Structure 1
């Protein structure tokens, strides 16, 4: 029905339609089957306690060491190539398949080298992260 009755113009109100009550949900703070040490470690990380900070610092330290293991050798190689060509000018005349050695060393070699280094770094970084998650979860 509407607010107004059909013929007389006086308002008539319908009773409110009852909405079904939402079902109650059980809220669980933690999985009771999980080991206490896992829960404690997760809480330490979430609350950023000194132990949680120490765990995260350890992960960051491992990631930094991995980055340096990649960056230092690549930097040495990329700095050594021009120095090698400068101090041994005879290498400028060497050719492979009609291409001079300096072009190969400076224009071609960096790309597969950087791809390989990036692939290795990504693999190691993901490995460190998986180990960190496994340590937290177990």
Structure 2
């Protein structure tokens, strides 16, 4: 036995450790505390807002075409590449437009999720 005695105690504080915030925020989300619940609700609200904005854009873009053809009936008689313009725009061009809107939505939704993940992993 040494006569020096036990080594002096050291105080370890969670907030002083590197990565303590990451552990805390991840635990808040996993244990569904009020803070974690607020963070998840914020993510859901951001995703819902994004989805509603993109749905509105899609409805306005594609919904404006029939209105345009009803307001200007002579435009509906125009023929392009052997097809009438309404069929061309709504039947063929509409799909790439929807695909582009969907692609952009997925990218932005994934960015929202990555921001949330970065927030909990900081």
Counterpart CA distance in 1 for 2:26 and 2:18 is: 11
Higher helix share: 2
CA displacement at 1:87 relative to structure 2: 1.6
**Matching residue of 2:100:** 116
Q: Which runs of 5+ in 1 are unaligned?
A: 1-32
Rg (Cα) greater in structure:
1
CA displacement at 1:46 relative to structure 2: 1.1
CA displacement at 1:49 relative to structure 2: 0.6
**Matching residue of 1:66:** 50
Query: Helix, strand or coil: the match of 1:109?
Result: helix
1:87 to 71, 82, 85: 71
> What TM-score do you get using the length of structure 1 for normalisation?
0.72
Question: Is residue 2:88 matched to residue 1:104?
Answer: yes
Counterpart CA distance in 2 for 1:92 and 1:39 is: 61
**Matching residue of 1:25:** none
Counterpart CA distance in 2 for 1:130 and 1:106 is: 35
**Matching residue of 1:132:** 116
Query: Helix, strand or coil: the match of 1:48?
Result: coil
Counterpart CA distance in 2 for 1:60 and 1:34 is: 29
**Number of equivalent positions:** 106
Larger RCO (CA within 8 A; separation ≥ 6): 2
**Matching residue of 1:26:** none
Question: Is residue 2:61 matched to residue 1:77?
Answer: yes
